[in-house]
Amino acid sequence: MIRFGLLIGTCFLYLVHELFPVPVLHSVFLLACTFVFLAFYTDLKKRGKIVTGLLFSTGLLLHFYQGDRGVELLAGINQNMAILSIIILAPLISIPLKQEGLLGVVTDRLKEQKNNARSTFYSVGTFTMILAPILNMGALRIVDGIVSKLRLPPKVLSSSYYNAVAPAFIWSPFYASVGTVLFMTDMPYTSFMLIGIGFAAVQILAGSIILRPKKNGQAENEEEKQVSDEDRKKLIKLISFIILLLIALILEEAFTDQRMLFLVSVNCIAVPLLWALLRNKWKELKKELIHFKERSTKSSTEIGLFLSAGLFGNALVQTPFTEVVENVIIWSSRSSILLLFIILIMFMLLMAMMGIHQIVVVPVIITILLSPNVDLSLSVIAFMCVFAWTLSASISPMNPLNVIISQCVGKDGFTVALKWNGKYFLSITGIAFVYVYLLSFIA
């Protein structure tokens, strides 16, 4: 209970700090993030303790070597708190959906189609795709909880999950990939939205063609039951809810001039409260909050990684390592936009394979790309970083997306990403190069 209170209190402190960024509150915020890290560190597995412990201690030492003292030794530990707040608070959004019976709308449909690989691919993918933009990777857990008892083909499931979640990494403000890049570039979401959604649409189309399994002759002869009017209404409500939430976020950003990450966190809290008020469902909300507390305290890996990575990344920016990376990036940017894109992808993928999260690497890269020595538009910088993040997170078995999908289908990360879906990732990378070239030409 103490750890949960400390975690939620720090999430609220982040919101307050965004509204009132005064020096005293900044110091308190740094200390609160540190206490959260230490409180959840003991729950980490051995490998997690080693990785986050090295990031944390190395970050402290680098800051000390650079002349920082006192609370400034912790500078950067709050850097990823905006993303972490969304990961922690996002499940609250699903409370109204679960209580209104909207999340179980496709269960019977999947049972009817479990012998049809192609129908299963489209049904699982569509349902995951609907939930993914607002529930982050929690959508995978929810959908897998529904389909796990149906014993669906692992390869089909992995393809459905990738084709549903990877596009959300490209455009949804609920994801660290988009949120971090927009935060670091100070770019409004409305300026990036069409760029992200445009590529995501192409990505989904390509995935639907490349990843779909062959037709199952036996299933084609089976009589397919029609969707009931009640289920159709629930599906429409679910889609409407997501669209209205995204519209609300865009309008809030336009009228309040607040960062999208801040607005997403606020809505994660406001939406279930507004639902309970309008529907008089306070008892149901209280029951769901108990489950929310239990789930939140199990997020030790994300908490440890994001906080320690923020501290380490902040310190790393001021080291000679950054100068080497900067020289390579500046040289490639002057040679060719496509060469720069290749180097960014390879560098981020290499770091991801070594277990260094994109949340550490991307801020370093963006700091370099925003320097006067690199002549690129914000839209090109943002898209390249978001795509490189998405690709490395999908392929590296050290990253949460790959790990979660591998756990869901019961296969190792390399098999799931490269053997089963390698053709898909190779194809969308080729499409991304064309997309970057067009963006740079237009910009």
> pLDDT tens digits, residue range 53-64?
998 999 999 999
Percent of the chain whose predicted confidence (pLDDT) is above 90: 36
Q: How many C-beta atoms lie closer than 10 Å to residue 128's C-beta? A: 25
Average the pLDDT over 33-41 and give the result: 92
> pLDDT tens digits, residue range 93-152?
888 888 887 776 656 566 666 667 788 888 888 888 888 887 777 778 777 777 776 777
Which range has the worst mean pLDDT, 26-30, 138-142, 165-169, 339-343? Answer: 138-142
**Per-residue model confidence (pLDDT) at position 201:** 96
Query: Residue 390 and residue 396: Cα distance in Å, rounded?
Result: 10
pTM of the model: 0.78
Q: What is the mean pLDDT of the chain?
A: 86
Tokens of 147: 């389909």
Q: Which of 270, 272, 364 is nearest to 325 (CA)?
A: 364
**Per-residue model confidence (pLDDT) at position 209:** 92
**Per-residue model confidence (pLDDT) at position 219:** 46
Query: Residue 83 and residue 88: Cα distance in Å, rounded?
Result: 9
**Per-residue model confidence (pLDDT) at position 115:** 65
Query: Residue 355 and residue 436: Cα distance in Å, rounded?
Result: 27
**Per-residue model confidence (pLDDT) at position 218:** 47
Whether residue 220 is predicted with pLDDT greater than 50 in this model: the reply is no
Average the pLDDT over 317-327 and give the result: 84
What are phi and psi for residue 381, nearest 5 degrees? -60, -45
**Per-residue model confidence (pLDDT) at position 382:** 96
> pLDDT tens digits, residue range 233-280?
888 888 888 889 888 888 888 888 788 878 888 998 999 999 999 999
CB–CB of 424/210 below 8 Å?
A: yes
Q: Hey, which of 264-268, 311-315, 356-360, 432-436 has the most confident mean pLDDT?
A: 432-436
Beta strands in 231-363 (DSSP E): none
Taken in order 136, 140, 141, 147, the sign of the CA dihedral is positive
Q: Which residue has the higher pLDDT, 118 or 282?
A: 282
Which range has the worst mean pLDDT, 30-44, 187-201, 349-363? Answer: 349-363
Query: Residue 92 and residue 94: Cα distance in Å, rounded?
Result: 5
Tokens of 196: 């992200």
Tokens of 10: 């720090």
Query: Residue 114 and residue 219: Cα distance in Å, rounded?
Result: 9
**Per-residue model confidence (pLDDT) at position 345:** 96
Angle at 404 between CA 5 and CA 420, to 5 degrees: 170
Query: Residue 357 and residue 84: Cα distance in Å, rounded?
Result: 14
Whether residue 207 is predicted with pLDDT greater than 90 in this model: the reply is yes
Q: How confident is the model at residue 415 (pLDDT cuts 50, 70, 90)?
A: very high
Whether residue 226 is predicted with pLDDT greater than 70 in this model: the reply is no
**Per-residue model confidence (pLDDT) at position 221:** 45
Average the pLDDT over 67-91 and give the result: 84
| Number of helices (H), then strands (E), in the chain | 23, 0
